[in-house]
Amino acid sequence: MIQILKNFILIFFLCFLIIRPAYSVNITGANTINSDSTTQQVYNADDTSLTITNSSTLSRTGQAPVNINEKDDGTLTINSGSSITATSHNTVQGKDQDGLTVTNSGTISSGGSKAINLLNAQDTTVTNNSGGIIKSNTNTVTLTENSGTGNNVTINNSGQIFSEAVSSGTTNNNAVKSEDDTNNMTLTNNVGGHIYNNNSSATALQQATVFIAAEDTATLTNSGTIENKAGPENWAIGLAGTGVTVTLKDKGKVIGKINSGGSGGHTIKLQHGAGQGYYYDITGSGSYTLQDLDGNPVVKGSAGSVGQGGNEMVDEELGYKSLSMRNSLVRYHQSDEYSEREKGWGEITTSFLKRDGDKNTLALDNEKIGIGANIFEPISNNKTLIFSFETSLQNISANHDIDKFSFLTGINFDEIEISDGINSKIYVLGGASFKKSERNILTNTTSTGLLDISDEYMSYEILIGNKILDNLGLKSNQEIVCFANRDESFFEEKFVSERNAEISTYKNAMKYLANKNFFCIRVGRSQLKKIDFSHKNIIDYPFSNIKSDFMDLFLFSKCIFLISTNHGINELASLFRKKRMIINLFPQNLHCLNNLTPLIILKKFKNLKNNQYISFKEVFEKKIYLISKIDLKSYGYDLIDNSEEEILDATKDMYELYNNNFKIEFSEQEKFWSIYKKNFNYKPNHLMIGKTFFKKNYDLFV
Residue 530: give its domain's CATH number: 3.40.50.2000
User: Closest by alpha carbon to 102, among 63, 57, 51, 174?
Assistant: 51
Q: Chain-wide mean pLDDT for the chain?
A: 86
Mean pLDDT of 189-208: 92
- pLDDT class for 305, splitting at 50, 70, 90? low
3-state secondary structure of 556: helix
Domain end marker among 402, 437, 468: 468
How far apart (Å, rounded) are the C-alpha atoms in residues 215 and 410?
A: 67
Answer whether residue 397 shows pLDDT above 80.
no
Contact 36, 59 (CB under 8 A): yes
pTM of the model as a whole: 0.63
Output the 3-class SS for 411-460: EEEEEEEEECCEEEEEEEEEEEEEEEEEEEEEECCCCCCEEEEEEEEEEE
Residue 482: the pLDDT is: 95
pLDDT per position as a tens digit, 545-597: 777 777 788 788 889 999 999 888 888 888 888 999 999 988 766 766 777 88
Tell me what percent of the residues of the chain surpass a pLDDT of 70: 87
pLDDT per position as a tens digit, 399-447: 788 899 999 999 988 876 655 555 667 888 899 989 898 888 889 889 9
Mean pLDDT of 680-688: 80
- Judge if 555 and 668 occupy the same domain: yes
Is residue 85 a part of any domain in this protein? yes
- pLDDT class for 685, splitting at 50, 70, 90? confident
User: Closest by alpha carbon to 453, among 406, 403, 404, 401?
Assistant: 401
- Judge if 456 and 515 occupy the same domain: no
Tell me what percent of the residues of the chain surpass a pLDDT of 90: 52
Ramachandran angles phi, psi of 178, nearest 5°: -125, 140
Neighbours of 687 (CB within 10 A): 20
- Judge if 417 and 460 occupy the same domain: yes
- Judge if 378 and 428 occupy the same domain: yes
Is residue 253 a part of any domain in this protein? yes
DSSP letter for each residue of 672-693: HHHHHHHHHS---SS-EE-HHH
Q: Which of 58-67, 306-315, 574-583 has the highest mean pLDDT?
A: 58-67
- Judge if 75 and 137 occupy the same domain: yes
For 479, which DSSP code?
Answer: P
- Cα dihedral value 474, 476, 478, 480, nearest 10: 60
User: Closest by alpha carbon to 141, among 119, 123, 165, 116?
Assistant: 116
Q: Which of 280-284, 403-407, 467-471, 521-525 shows the lowest per-residue confidence on average (mean pLDDT)?
A: 467-471
- Cα dihedral value 653, 657, 662, 665, nearest 10: -60
pLDDT per position as a tens digit, 590-616: 766 777 888 999 999 999 999 999 999
- Judge if 433 and 369 occupy the same domain: yes
Q: Which of 35-39, 454-458, 470-474, 611-615 shows the lowest per-residue confidence on average (mean pLDDT)?
A: 470-474
Contact 296, 275 (CB under 8 A): yes
Residue 519: the pLDDT is: 93
Residue 16: the pLDDT is: 40
pLDDT per position as a tens digit, 238-261: 999 999 999 999 999 999 999 999
Is residue 473 a part of any domain in this protein? no
Ramachandran angles phi, psi of 621, nearest 5°: -65, -35
Answer whether residue 507 shows pLDDT above 70.
yes
Mean pLDDT of 512-536: 89
H/E stretch holding 644: helix 644-659
Residue 17: the pLDDT is: 40
Residue 417: the pLDDT is: 65
Q: Rounded to 5 degrees, what angle do the CA atoms 338, 343, 344 make?
A: 80
Report the domain count for the chain. 3
Is residue 6 a part of any domain in this protein? no
Q: Rounded to 5 degrees, what angle do the CA atoms 405, 408, 410 make?
A: 175
pLDDT per position as a tens digit, 311-361: 445 555 666 677 788 788 888 888 888 877 778 899 999 888 776 665 554
Neighbours of 342 (CB within 10 A): 8
- pLDDT class for 22, splitting at 50, 70, 90? very low
- Judge if 336 and 407 occupy the same domain: yes
CA 641 from centre of chain:
34
Residue 380: the pLDDT is: 85
Domain span including residue 563: 480-701
For 45, which DSSP code?
Answer: S
3-state secondary structure of 72: coil
pLDDT per position as a tens digit, 663-672: 777 778 889 9
Q: What residues contact 449, with CB distance under 8 A and at least 6 apart?
A: 225, 227, 253, 254, 255, 442, 443
Answer whether residue 467 shows pLDDT above 60.
yes
User: Closest by alpha carbon to 122, among 154, 164, 86, 87?
Assistant: 154
How many Cα atoms are found within 13 Å in the side-chain-facing hemisphere of 580?
Answer: 30
DSSP letter for each residue of 294-347: T----EETTEEE---TTGGGHHHHHHHHHHHHHHHHHHHHTSHHHHHTSS-EEE
Answer whether residue 469 shows pLDDT above 50.
no
- Judge if 531 and 574 occupy the same domain: yes
Domain end marker among 438, 468, 498: 468
Is residue 177 a part of any domain in this protein? yes
Is residue 233 a part of any domain in this protein? yes
Contact 548, 418 (CB under 8 A): yes
Mean pLDDT of 191-196: 97
- Judge if 287 and 325 occupy the same domain: no
- Judge if 290 and 368 occupy the same domain: no
Q: How do strand 519-522 and strand 538-540 relate by DSSP bridges?
A: parallel
Q: How do strand 288-292 and strand 345-355 relate by DSSP bridges?
A: unpaired
Domain end marker among 447, 468, 489: 468
Mean pLDDT of 302-311: 55
Q: Identity (one letter) of the amino acid at 1?
A: M
- Judge if 288 and 423 occupy the same domain: no
How far apart (Å, rounded) are the C-alpha atoms in residues 96 and 336?
A: 93
